[in-house]
Amino acid sequence: MTTGSASNVISLTRKLANKKDTFSSQPDMGSRTRVISISSGKGGVGKTNIVANLGISLSRLGKKVMIFDADLGLGNLDILLGLTPKYNFSHVALGEKTLSEIIVDGPCNVKILPASSGIQEMANLSKAQTADILSELYAVIDPIDILLIDTAAGISSNVMYFNAIAQEVIVVVSPEPTSITDAYALMKILSLRYGVKQFKLLVNMVSDIQEAHEVYRQLKLVAERFLDIAIEYIGHVSYDKNITRGVRRQKAICELYPDSQASRCFSSLAVKLCQSPTAVFPPKNTRLFWQELISNKLDFSKP
């Protein structure tokens, strides 16, 4: 690591640790924005691709959509969509920019909050730091109908924080045994330690609907036996070679191949989400509110 980069990391760490309560005086705001986190137990299941295409599909239905790339240390949503944002979340953490100043326009009028890449401190935020993020986040989503949170893969504290405060949690799983096992582990921890009891399951990269239903059946069977949670099957995305072509061209398949099999799956998923009811957040937007929520819902053993 060079002297300059080491200095930047130290500066970022100090900024995160000493960030003051700049949002506590903001007025209470409405709570019409629907907040959906999208997670996976393991990487490589196509989660970020799903988030991008779902966001586009929802926008085409007339929804105002924002995607928050919450893989704060290794974000790549912007790369997937061929975007080159000048600023990202690390600039917010350093106090150089506000969240509203780093928002970029994605395809089909979808708004994007880009994450940083290669900054380790961003991957392990404390509850207090997360409260700061949420306070500012909820100050910029008032005009938004649906906020999609693309979490990192795995079970890090960041992943748990963003899942625990979402109104709905979508777990992405593929037919691979390791993906199924890790998805179960994710739901188990969220249930036992963070109080999340309702999950939506999306099965990706399947050959047909029967394979998707079998994955759902396996997870539901184990969850009913060992966990006090409810899993709702919300759909599947078929294996489609056009997805790989889109990734290589840095374009979402819904844009590049709107009539493809996978694109039709995303359209169906968007319609189903729009037709389903959602929980409502209290009309609060202060840092104190989010600190209290985090303290109540998240692991007290975490700093």
Query: 2 lies in a domain?
Result: no
Q: What is the pLDDT of the chain when averaged over all its residues?
A: 82
Residue 144 pLDDT:
93
Q: Which residue did the predictor score with more confidence, 101 or 164?
A: 101
Does the residue 167 lie in any domain?
Answer: yes
Q: Which tokens in the block code for residue 189? A: 């921890």
Q: Report yes or no on 15 lying in a domain.
A: no
Quick check: is 11 in a domain?
Answer: no
- Structural domain span for residue 137: 32-297
Residue 126 lies in a domain: yes
- Whether residue 188 is contained in a domain is answered as yes
Q: What percent of the chain has pLDDT over 70?
A: 77
Q: DSSP string of 212-242? A: HHHHHHHHHHHHHHH---EEEEEEEEE--HH
The pLDDT tens digits of the residues spanning 55-95 come to: 999 999 999 999 999 887 677 899 999 999 999 888 887 78
Residues 6+ apart with CB under 8 A from 58: 65, 145, 146, 148, 270, 273, 274
pLDDT in tens, 194-209: 889 999 999 999 999 9
The number of domains in the chain is: 1
pLDDT at 45 over 80: yes
Q: What is the CATH number of the domain that holds 73?
A: 3.40.50.300
pLDDT at residue 166 tops 90 = no
Neighbours of 207 (CB within 10 A): 11
Domain-located, residue 19: no
Give the distance from CA 231 to its chain's centroid. 18
Residue 24 resides in a domain? no
